Chains A and B, each alone.
Chain A
Amino acid sequence: EAQVTQNPRYLITVTGKKLTVTCSQNMNHEYMSWYRQDPGLGLRQIYYSMNVEVTDKGDVPEGYKVSRKEKRNFPLILESPSPNQTSLYFCASRRTGLGTEAFFGQGTRLTVV
């Protein structure tokens, strides 16, 4: 089954404690991205990757890091989480090219206290 898998689904952490949210896709997609969803703001892109070892900032990259060492994996790293990073996070993947469908993971609800 074609899917994007994120882990964990729920996470509560304390300010400053490094964490990683994993994302893996089995569709051999080149393009992967991370979004955060906040009430009234919709989805905003954090980082994206066009292919292995190629990453770039989205609209709200501050406080986040990513890496793309393998085509299927695109982890999101918060090195020093803060309460304003409490949000719902989604990983997505798609083929490169115009008008292609994005496939989304189930989401990770992160709370930073």
Chain B
Amino acid sequence: AQSVTQLGSHVSVSEGALVLLRCNYSSSVPPYLFWYVQYPNQGLQLLLKYTSAATLVKGINGFEAEFKKSETSFHLTKPSAHMSDAAEYFCAVSGFGNEKLTFGTGTRLTIIP
């Protein structure tokens, strides 16, 4: 069985500060890991994904995530928060041989001016 845990349902950071959203996964096989973003009244869109090519993955809008197998983590970071980053962020996992995409419970990011 596969699962993801997102620590912190709400995160607030000041504009210009570091953004760190945490995701830990559980998978019995090498995982594929994703971060999706949901802006208000919109569907989800892909920020970045890990598919074993490189442990540090760069995505859109200046976000990146690092796959750490020893810690079973895939935390999302951005060096400097912008007001437009305010949204809900979802971590998701799928496993080798398993088409299913399993989502975490989401983290709502608020940017303080």
Contacts and interface: CB of A to CB of B under 8 A. Distances in A.
Interface in B2-39: 9, 32, 34, 36
A92 B45 CA distance: 11
Interface stretch (B64-72, B75-83, B92-100): B92-100
Contacts, number: 55
Given A90-B44, A98-B96, A101-B34, 12 more contacts: A4-B43, A40-B9, A44-B103, A45-B101, A90-B43, A99-B32, A101-B46, A104-B43, A104-B44, A105-B43, A106-B41, A107-B42
Interface of A: 4, 31, 33, 35, 40-45, 48, 50, 58, 90, 92, 96, 98-99, 101-102, 104-107
B49 A101 contact: yes
Q: Which of B51, B99, B105 has the most CB of A within 10 A?
A: B99
A27 to B, nearest CB: 14
Given A40-B105, A98-B94, A99-B32, A107 B43 contact: yes
B4 to A, nearest CB: 9
Contacts of B44: 43, 90, 92, 102, 104
**Is chain B's binding surface mostly helix, strand, loop or mixed?**
loop
Contacts of B101: 33, 45, 102
Interface string B46-90: 100101000000000000000000000000000000000000001
Contacts of A50: 99
B10 to A, nearest CB: 11
Nearest to A102: B101
Contacts of A43: 44, 90, 103
A92 B46 CA distance: 12
28 contacts: A31-B99, A35-B103, A41-B105, A42-B105, A43-B90, A43-B103, A44-B103, A45-B100, A45-B101, A48-B100, A96-B99, A98-B32, A98-B96, A98-B97, A99-B32, A99-B49, A99-B51, A99-B94, A101-B46, A102-B36, A102-B44, A102-B46, A104-B36, A104-B44, A104-B45, A106-B41, A107-B41, A107-B43
